[in-house]
Amino acid sequence: MTAAAKPPAKPKPPPVFTVGIVLYPGFDILDVAGPHEVFGFFDGAAIGRTVKVATVAQTKAALPTSGVLRVLPEYDFGDCPPIDLLFVPGGGDGLDKAIGDKALLAFLRKAAKHARYVAGVCTGGLLLGAAGLLDGYEATTHWGFIDCLKLFPKVKVVNGCPRWVRDRNRITGGGISSSIDESLFLLDTLVADLAPGKASDKDRAALAELTTRQVQLSIQYNPQPPFSGGDPCSVDYAVFEPVNASMAGFREIVSKAILARP
């Protein structure tokens, strides 16, 4: 008698690429929703991996956002899987406490050691700065808090009003709505970097653009606001000054939190 034929081995599942979005009390919901939507529509086929979007915080208890919503993190600092793309959102009330939160900053440093990309949007750049993760890098933040970012002497704050800035594997974005633009840029970047095979740089760039355009179409991102402008580089002083003045109090609170760090 012949031995029974062994069943064919099951193919190994593709490795996981984890986008880790770090939450803290008072984070801005659009800063989180932008990357969550963009990477939620990316199946990972272009890089030969399964993509997981994970939210992580110090505990799994529901967290208040900068508005009235509350969010349940999927992981805590102890059970979070390895993060490939570390993404830090900005925040409103509570940002000053986050800047001095030793456990949060320690987690960011630990996660960044193994992450291929380290990103922050809006005032999330200030948290990266507080963790020392932007030392020696060019970076930006929400236009109203550029002076706060300049309080970190080793950070090279760029001029102008960019939607995002990339310096090596550090990517930072402007205020709030920049989260979508920056996330699409991140998607284009990682596909160009990680697409498997021996394709030329030109072919990889073409694949990255196609993939990103398809995701952009999936979320129907073709912004057409009722008015032009939206940053200090594109509006009249009459629009700028009242908004800038309204941020002065919070800007002072955040500045004091940065300067109070040990």
Q: Is residue 4 exposed (0-12), middle (13-18) or buried (19+ Cβ within 10 Å)? A: exposed
Candidates 122, 148, 161, 233; catalytic one:
122
Classified as helix, coil or strand, 56 is strand
Q: Map out the domains of the chain with their CATH numbers.
A: 16-222+231-259 (3.40.50.880)
Residue type (1 letter), 245: A
Q: What is the pLDDT of residues 204-240, one digit of tens each?
A: 999 999 999 999 999 999 999 999 999 999 999 999 9
**Rounded mean pLDDT, 42-68:** 96
Q: Is the pLDDT of residue 10 over 80?
A: no
122 belongs to the catalytic site: yes
CA distance 43 to 163: 25
pLDDT tens-place string over residues 118-168: 999 999 999 999 999 999 999 999 999 999 999 999 999 999 999 999 999
pLDDT band at 4 (very low <50, low <70, confident <90, very high): low
